[in-house]
Structure 1
Amino acid sequence: MKLIIRLIFIGALTYFLSPIFTWWTAMAVAFLVCYISPSSGLNAFVAGFLGVGLVWMGHAWNLDVQNNSAFSNTVAEIMQVSDPILLVFATGLVGGLSGGFASLSGTFFRQLFLKQKKRSLYS
């Protein structure tokens, strides 16, 4: 359940703050959300990956639809990609990896300040 809540927070804040601020705001959002809410490493990475990746892919697809794929076709020719829609998926992948590693960094940064419980021999 926390994964879904974290994913919604990261996605919503990325969606609303990215047009106002710079592109790396999505990474700051993912870092802060996972710093504030405790989670495991995999849980944080998946939330950041899906939260940022889906927003970036949706935005890239929306821009592609608005200009009738003119820009995508031009960039696909330059990069020698067969299908311009692969650029939309590549944008989502780059955003997802960036958001995933930022949220993972937030989780690990939080764990730096937690005192480790001393384990006994019998526990």
Structure 2
Amino acid sequence: MKLIVRIIVIGALTYFISPFTVWWSVMVIAFIVCYTSPSSGLNAFTAGFLGVGLVWMGHAWNIDVGNGSVFGNTIAEIMQISDPILLVFATGLIGGLAGGFASLSGTTFRQLFVKQKKRSLYN
């Protein structure tokens, strides 16, 4: 349940804040969200990857549809890619990796300051 909440929070903040700020602000958002809510490394990476990646893919698709795929076809032709929709997936992958690693960094940075519980043999 916490994973879904993190994905929604990261995605919503990315959607509303990223058009007005620099591109790397999504990494700050993912870092802060996963720093403030404790989680495991894989959980944090997944939340950041999906939260940012889906929003970036949606933005790229919206831009591509908005201009009739003229820009996408031109860039795909320059990069020698057969299908311009691959650019949308590449944008989502790049944004997802940026958000995933920022979330993982937030969780790891939190673990530096949190005292670990001593494990007993009975737990």
For the criterion TM > 0.5, the same-fold answer is: yes
TM norm structure 2: 0.96
Partners of 2:24 and 2:52 in 1: how far apart? 11
Question: Can you list the C-alpha shifts for 1:15-52, whole angstroms capped at 9, x where unaligned?
Answer: 00001111111111000000000001111001000000
Query: CA shift at 1:120, angstroms?
Result: 4.8
Q: Which runs of 5+ in 1 are unaligned?
A: none
Structure 2, gaps ≥5 residues long: none
- For 1:23, the equivalent position in structure 2 comes to 23
Aligned-residue offset at 1:117: 2.7
4+ aligned runs moved over 3 Å, structure 1: 118-123
Query: What is the match of residue 92 of structure 1?
Result: 92
Tell me which residue corresponds to 1:103. 103
Pairwise CA distance, 1:119: 3.8
State the alpha-carbon separation in 1 of the partners of residues 122 and 48 from structure 2: 37
Q: Distance in 1 between matches of 2:118 and 2:57?
A: 44
Residue in 2 that maps onto 1:51? 51
Alpha-carbon distance in 2 for matches of 1:116, 1:23:
35
User: Residues of 2 paired with 1:70 and 1:63: CA distance?
Assistant: 10
What whole-Å deviation, never above 9, does each CA across 1:61-107 have from its counterpart, x for those lacking one? Answer: 00000110111111101110000000000000000011000000000
Coordinate RMSD, CA, aligned: 1.1
- Partners in 1 of 2:9 and 2:66 — Cα distance? 27
Q: Map 1:60-75; keep pairs closer than 5 Å.
A: 60-75=60-75
CA shift, 1:115, in A, is: 1.4
Q: Hey, what's the Cα distance between the residues in 1 that align with 2:90 and 2:122?
A: 50
The structure-2 alpha-carbon separation of the partners of 1:122 and 1:7, relative to structure 1 and needing over 3 Å to count, comes to: closer
Aligned residue pairs total 123
Residue identity matched to 2:81: V
Deviates more, 1:82-91 or 1:109-118: 109-118
